[in-house]
Copies of this chain bind each other. A is one copy, B any other.
Amino acid sequence: MRQGDSIGRFSLAQGHPWVAVDVVVFTLSQATLQALLVQVKDGPFAGKWAFPGGLVGAEESLDQAAERELRERTGVQEAHLEQLYTFGKPERDPMSRVVSVSYLALIPVQGITPNAASKYADIRWFRADRLPRLAYDHDQVTRLALQRLRAKLQYTNIVYSLMPSEFTLGELQEVYETILQRPLDRRNFRKRILALGLLKQLKKKRRGTHRPASLYAFIRRRPMIIEMV
Contacts and interface: CB of A to CB of B under 8 A. Distances in A.
Contacts of A20: 1-2, 6
**Looking at chain A, what size class is its interface with the partner chain?**
35 or more
Contacts of A136: 2
A88 B43 contact: no
Contacts of A55: 1, 6-7, 10, 14
A78 interface: no
Contacts of A16: 16, 18, 58
A1 B54 contact: yes
Interface of A: 1-7, 10, 13-20, 22, 40-43, 45-46, 50, 52-62, 69, 83, 85-90, 93, 95-99, 101, 119, 136
B58 A86 contact: no
Given A2-B42, A83-B85, 11 more contacts: A1-B22, A1-B53, A2-B45, A3-B93, A6-B119, A7-B55, A10-B55, A16-B18, A17-B19, A61-B88, A61-B89
